[in-house]
Structure 1
Amino acid sequence: MNAYQEALDYLYSQLPMFTKVGASAYKTDLHNTVALLQQLNNPQHTFKTIHVAGTNGKGSTSHMLAAILQQAGYKTGLYTSPHLLDFRERIRINGQVASEDFVVKFTNDMRPFIDSIAPSFFELTVAMAFEYFSQEKVDVAIIEVGLGGRLDSTNVITPELSVITNISFDHKNILGDTLPQIAFEKAGIIKEGIPVVISETQSEIQQVFVSKATDMNAPIFFADQEWMVDGSDIKGNHLELTVLDTRQNKMYRFRLDLSGQYQEKNVMGVLSAVKQLQQKGWHITWEQVSAALSQVRKLTGLRGRWEIVSEHPLTVMDVGHNEAGIREIVQQLEHVNYQHLHIVTGFVKDKEVENVLPLFPVTATYYFCRAQLPRAMDEVALAEMGAQHGLQGRAYESVQAALQAARQHAKPEDMILVCGSFFIVAEAL
């Protein structure tokens, strides 16, 4: 076994992982994160940051912002979670994942301290990312919140800018079971005097953000009040947008290499963020923004967002996994031509599956499956729940078996959609 694999095995086996065990791995204070960073001489203070929170869209938003800053010539770090194929996807600089040697050295050097304070997996990876960005002397790092915001391990930075994408129901057992409660947790990233961009105006929680921003003397900007989508068209793997800057009465055209219609909301948040950065003296031109948005996948390695992996049958992977995410996926399906739809899906136990299943189309054939992790929902139980909502299909013990069955049954003019959780998509890829 090589040293990198040994380091990963230690991290996975010794540290409580939210992806594996759920809420019991979530720490309700920043004590461990602060201790880890003090041990490392607070690397998070040595570079500039942009902090991104939200229920859905924060990953896409983080990658778009990273692509833009990269395109503008800044050495750009990007911290996201979870990963799809390789742990190092969580920590990138200019699209390149962290080196195996760094992960090994960091883990070995920190091991006595890790053993003494027993941090969670996420707490440690945040500290690892900050140390890597500091050592590599990035100009700026885009930091995606893991869960919530107020008590998230990433909430130890004082960013140039905070961005909150949208709020919908997810992790109710931790963040609260009303939208205002969840919004309160996300609003925890708003810092004293630091501007905050809210991607989407949602009437029932708008005041939560306004109140927090007022308390913190933080200028607040609602992106969909600054920008308006004037035209939108999906062409193959691309989303073509015509966007109006309502304050300047100027029109911009962008061609994204991300084809999900749901990216419209994220793009508006990104454009408002760019405006704020420009006003703070960051050198970013609209030509650079346009060039970056046309190659987000290439510049940053983003995957799993309405990702077309093959044609005939059209096969799409999307990490949408909660009510709002599945709703967006179902809306996206209306823009696709296919004869019959095959859906490979599975969930983790703590998702509101009862609320999600009624959103799925009853005309599709389903391949219910389970990802290889303890939190995964039993595929037979899922198939039974699906049947109660009119979803017809069979249960499969693994994602690969389900995908293989879908491929066997699908005709060239059909469509296969893989969704339901990050881990289903990861195993399918």
Structure 2
Amino acid sequence: MRDSALEHFDALFGPEFGHGKALDLAPLRATLAALGNPQSKLPPIIHVAGTNGKGSTIAFMRAIAEAAGLRVHTYTKPHLFKLNERFVVSGAPASEEALILAAEHIAAISRDLTQFDAQVAAAFLLFSETPADLVLLETGMGGRDDSTNVVTPALSAITPIDLDHQDVLGATLTEIATHKAGIIKPNTPAIIARQPDEACDILVAHAAHVNAPLLQHGQDWDAYANAGRLVVQTETRALDLPLPALAGAHQIENAGLACAALMRWRPDLSHDAFAKGIADATWPARLQPLTRGALSAPIRAIGGEVWVDGGHNAHAGVALSYAMQDMKARRGGKNIAIVGLRKRKDATLFIAALARFADHIIAVPLADDHVSTNELAALGDKLGIDSTTAPSLAIAMQNAAQLPAPRVLICGSFVLAAEALAAENA
């Protein structure tokens, strides 16, 4: 599947990763100024940072806002199949042609940008040209020095913080949280999910330093499942909603954060809009079931089930572990993890998280640079999990089908998730 827009961005600005440039917002700010500062011509912005759950939280917020009749722009990452998935302009993905024109316009001003800088500038250009009521903006990495952090938001939201991108953001939660805290702006409300103590201390201190009203999960708002419903409470309002359409207990917190953020931004949004948005929100490759294609057919034929998730760090692995353990407790069967990881990810921590639920691990290669399958299998074996390798996802699925009624989770990378979804939909 050719991606003309991505090819254009690659040619004009180099690869998105591994470019070797320092985190520096000055080139982007100069380019945006030459473009007329489109980021200052946008509707209200909710800026979202965190380690995991950013995309799901935005998916819930978008669905709720659209159920209320609002027009919404979103910028998220990564994409699964084509670059234009990242750019939703008033409810519809930007065309490849529009992205190519935006890239050329930006490159004519400056090529001294990272590709992510250029993507963010393109998003601001496209959003500024089409009316909307709300922008939902996801950071790429970190927050303080992130390319998206050139805006003045109406509200900032921070999902759970954990270890990821340690090579850039730092090796400790304190260092990583310091980066994430940078999206909290002076005198601007910020809402945060439940955090590890070290991360929470940093966020609270930064909010106090910039005089930003801070709403903390468990203190100023709460979200929990009760009798098959989602309850979200703030100091001024309570919502009794359907459970999220997205699977996994971790989506309770993401949905709650979305609701609490929108209740703070627009207290007038109706209960019906929240209910419909939570029930209807979709976000691919987040514990997504595969139910109809040839890839999952061998598993389903023997009474098994197949799930796919792009999670690739320890925190995501723990969330997946809880979800898969819960499925096993309720429905029985063996849990099998089919795993592929990029080299820049922490394979040891991710496999350790999967070991909490997996009865068997099958390591597979990715289409680009990846941790060797032998290394992944060795990590699983070291933790006492029966671990093997397979030369491809298709063969891994055939191997998994040798076990009775297996529950298969394809995970570790959005590259692998995209391969699974493409094969399922072929």
> Do they fold alike, i.e. is TM over 0.5?
yes
Per the alignment, residue 64 of structure 2 pairs with 68
Q: 1:373 aligns with which of 362, 368, 371?
A: 368
Per the alignment, residue 241 of structure 2 pairs with 253
Q: What secondary structure is seen at the aligned counterpart in 2 of 1:214?
A: helix
Provide closer, same or farther for how the CA distance between residues 287 and 261 of structure 1 changes in structure 2, counting only shifts above 3 A: same
Q: What secondary structure is seen at the aligned counterpart in 1 of 2:63?
A: helix
Per the alignment, residue 416 of structure 1 pairs with 408
Q: What secondary structure is seen at the aligned counterpart in 2 of 1:77?
A: strand
Per the alignment, residue 78 of structure 2 pairs with 82
Q: What secondary structure is seen at the aligned counterpart in 2 of 1:189?
A: coil
Per the alignment, residue 281 of structure 2 pairs with 296
Per the alignment, residue 11 of structure 1 pairs with 9
Provide closer, same or farther for how the CA distance between residues 396 and 31 of structure 1 changes in structure 2, counting only shifts above 3 A: farther
Per the alignment, residue 425 of structure 1 pairs with 417
Q: 1:169 aligns with which of 163, 171, 181?
A: 163
In structure 2, how many angstroms separate the alpha carbons of the residues matched to 1:244 and 1:8?
39
Using the TM superposition, give the Cα deviation of residue 251 of structure 1 relative to its aligned residue in structure 2, in angstroms: 5.4
Using the TM superposition, give the Cα deviation of residue 401 of structure 1 relative to its aligned residue in structure 2, in angstroms: 4.1
In structure 1, how many angstroms separate the alpha carbons of the residues matched to 2:226 and 2:410?
25
Give deviations 1:100-123, integer Å, cap 9, x for gaps. Answer: 220222233334335x42x22211
CA contact (8 A) 1:180 1:204 kept: yes
CA contact (8 A) 1:345 1:419 kept: yes
Superposed, which structure 2 residues align to 1:121-136 within 5 Å?
121-136=115-130
Give deviations 1:201-257, integer Å, cap 9, x for gaps. Answer: 432332211211111111011033234445347xxxxxx433152634745232321
TM-score, normalised with respect to structure 1: 0.88
Structure 2 runs not aligned, ≥5 long: 292-299, 422-426
Q: 1:277 aligns with which of 256, 260, 265?
A: 265
Using the TM superposition, give the Cα deviation of residue 34 of structure 1 relative to its aligned residue in structure 2, in angstroms: 1.3
Provide closer, same or farther for how the CA distance between residues 385 and 290 of structure 1 changes in structure 2, counting only shifts above 3 A: same
Q: What secondary structure is seen at the aligned counterpart in 1 of 2:163?
A: coil
CA contact (8 A) 2:90 2:131 kept: no
Per the alignment, residue 254 of structure 2 pairs with 266
Provide closer, same or farther for how the CA distance between residues 9 and 242 of structure 1 changes in structure 2, counting only shifts above 3 A: closer
CA contact (8 A) 2:223 2:253 kept: no
Per the alignment, residue 325 of structure 1 pairs with 316
Using the TM superposition, give the Cα deviation of residue 410 of structure 1 relative to its aligned residue in structure 2, in angstroms: 5.0
Task: Write the letter of the residue equivalent to 2:82.
Answer: D
Per the alignment, residue 205 of structure 2 pairs with 211
Task: Write the letter of the residue equivalent to 1:409.
Answer: Q
Using the TM superposition, give the Cα deviation of residue 179 of structure 1 relative to its aligned residue in structure 2, in angstroms: 0.9
In structure 2, how many angstroms separate the alpha carbons of the residues matched to 1:288 and 1:44?
28
Task: Write the letter of the residue equivalent to 2:38.
Answer: P
Q: Is 1:190 aligned to 2:181, yes or no?
A: no
Q: 1:313 aligns with which of 300, 304, 312?
A: 304
Q: Which is worse superposed, 217-226 or 165-174?
A: 217-226
Per the alignment, residue 237 of structure 1 pairs with none
Task: Write the letter of the residue equivalent to 1:329.
Answer: L
Q: 2:153 aligns with which of 119, 143, 159?
A: 159
Give deviations 1:256-306, integer Å, cap 9, x for gaps. Answer: 211211112212222221221125xxx411221111111111xxxx21111
Give deviations 1:130-157, integer Å, cap 9, x for gaps. Answer: 1111111222210001100000000000
In structure 2, how many angstroms separate the alpha carbons of the residues matched to 1:252 and 1:25?
48
How many equivalent residue pairs? 406
Task: Write the letter of the residue equivalent to 1:367.
Answer: I
In structure 2, how many angstroms separate the alpha carbons of the residues matched to 1:315 and 1:141?
34
Task: Write the letter of the residue equivalent to 2:256.
Answer: M
Provide closer, same or farther for how the CA distance between residues 26 and 50 of structure 1 changes in structure 2, counting only shifts above 3 A: farther
CA contact (8 A) 2:89 2:126 kept: no
Give deviations 1:358-403, integer Å, cap 9, x for gaps. Answer: 22237522221122123x2122222223222223233234444434
Query: What is the aligned-residue RMSD (CA, Å)?
Result: 2.3
Q: What secondary structure is seen at the aligned counterpart in 1 of 2:218?
A: helix
